[in-house]
Amino acid sequence: MSQIHKLPATPHTVHWGYYDKSWQPALVVKSGDIVEIEAICHQSGDAPELLMDEAITAIYDAFPDRNMGDHIVTGPIYIEGAEPGDVLEAKILDLQPRMPHGSNVLANWGELADAFDQTEYIYIYKINDDGVTASPEFMYTYPGKIEKPGQIRHEHEVERITVTDAIKVPLNLHFGIAGVTPKETGKVDTTHPKYFGGNVDNKNFVVGTSMYYEVNNPGAGFYVGDSHFAQGDAELSGTAIEGSVNGRIQLVLHKDMKLKENPILETDTHWMVHGFDADLDKATHQAALEGVEFLAQHYGVSRTLAYSILSVHADFHISQVANGVKGVHCRIRKDIFQ
């Protein structure tokens, strides 16, 4: 029978800005166990009285050195029996906002930063009473430049301007970051998505879906972070609506499953394979190769037929252009296979 574990976000269970295969486990579980886990927003300082509680403040105070990646990650979780070459399934059972506000940044790394003269803006969104949409509540021009993760801007430091609440954005809560520890020795920046997952930013990783990762180290070392209230494909301005989220995840080991390289997302209706590269064309190329190999292995079709299927049926979406290394995911419907 599956056991249920709790992994709250504290200064002892989170890391800021990096992954490291030498991390000590924050939690040890068995395959099939369920973990109730907290993911903390790294943009909480954009409106601290709305996005920070006592526990989040303690995390910010505990990490004055934030000089690698932007993100706060919770973990790692050690799965007993996980060995390199295994596949770890992370199934999302539930996601709930920790508090009702989140932040969207029009950032200096956003796609249109030059069109806005590199000026940066913050939009604070609030989840509406309907519980399924969010509306912009206020915005402000960011003073200076966002150069260090986790900066705090109090209300008296900026000019907040009220924004119309007639805009209602549908929520799609998900973890922008989830994955397993990398093969490399030493600290690895959280900014870029890679073969181990990390900052994939696939908005489809919602309740009821599963992401599959190839294990690189004993125990897998699973983690989550960069939780989002809502995001469009491309994450155009540089961020989603960034907000703290409490999740419920089931972790299952697969000893007889193989991946080509990158994580695979499974929904009720689709398989989604991923490609990552600083060049969007190369990311698309990689996603296509991942799709060919997945179809050949999972459904037993020839590689040429798999290539044909991708051309006549599959949809290629831009996951994000915000992370330096861009992401493309290829959506393949399950129901075409009879």
How does pLDDT run across 133-158, given as a tens digit for each residue? Answer: 999 999 999 998 888 889 999 999 99
Alpha-carbon distance of 220 to 180, in angstroms, equals: 6
Report pLDDT for 66: 80
DSSP β-bridge partners for residue 47: none
Q: Which of 148, 326, 136, 125 is nearest to 238 (CA)?
A: 326
Amino acid at 189: D
CA-CA-CA-CA torsion sign (177, 152, 234, 169): positive
DSSP β-bridge partners for residue 74: 14, 224
Scan for tokens 């956003």, then name that residue.
110
Assessment of whether the complete model's pTM goes beyond 0.85: yes
Report pLDDT for 68: 87
Q: Which of 77, 7, 3, 4 is nearest to 246 (CA)?
A: 7
230-282, pLDDT tens digit by residue? 999 999 999 999 999 999 999 999 999 999 999 999 999 999 999 999 999 99
Report pLDDT for 246: 99
Residue pair 33/17 in contact by the 8 Å Cβ criterion: no
78-91, pLDDT tens digit by residue? 999 999 999 999 99
Alpha-carbon distance of 227 to 171, in angstroms, equals: 12
Q: Which of 210, 214, 204, 148 is nearest to 176 (CA)?
A: 204
Does 4-254 match 264-336 in CATH topology?
Answer: no
**In this structure, what are the phi and psi dihedrals at residue 277, rounded to the nearest 5 degrees?**
-170, 155
Q: Does residue 16 carry a pLDDT above 90?
A: yes
User: For residue 132, what is the enclosing H or E element?
Assistant: none
- Strand extents, DSSP E, 80-173: 87-97, 101-106, 121-127, 133-141, 161-162, 169-170
Query: How far separated are the first and last CA of the chain, in Å rounded?
Result: 33
DSSP β-bridge partners for residue 253: 88
Alpha-carbon distance of 109 to 98, in angstroms, equals: 27
User: For residue 68, what is the enclosing H or E element?
Assistant: none
189-221, pLDDT tens digit by residue? 999 999 999 999 999 999 999 999 999 999 999
Specify the DSSP class assigned to residue 299: H
Look over the chain and give the mean of its residue pLDDT values, rounded to a whole number.
97
**Domain boundaries 264-336, corresponding CATH code:** 3.10.28.20
Report pLDDT for 177: 99
| Token output for 202 | 């696939």
The domain locations on the chain are: 4-254, 264-336
**In this structure, what are the phi and psi dihedrals at residue 283, rounded to the nearest 5 degrees?**
-65, -40
Span of 52-56, 93-97, 114-118, 319-323 with lowest mean pLDDT = 114-118
**In this structure, what are the phi and psi dihedrals at residue 159, rounded to the nearest 5 degrees?**
-100, 105
CA-CA-CA-CA torsion sign (53, 57, 60, 63): negative
Amino acid at 298: H
- Over range 24-42, report the average pLDDT: 99
Report pLDDT for 64: 86
Report pLDDT for 129: 97
Alpha-carbon distance of 151 to 86, in angstroms, equals: 39
Domain 4-254: which CATH number of 1.10.1740.10, 2.40.50.100, 3.30.565.10, 2.60.120.580: 2.60.120.580
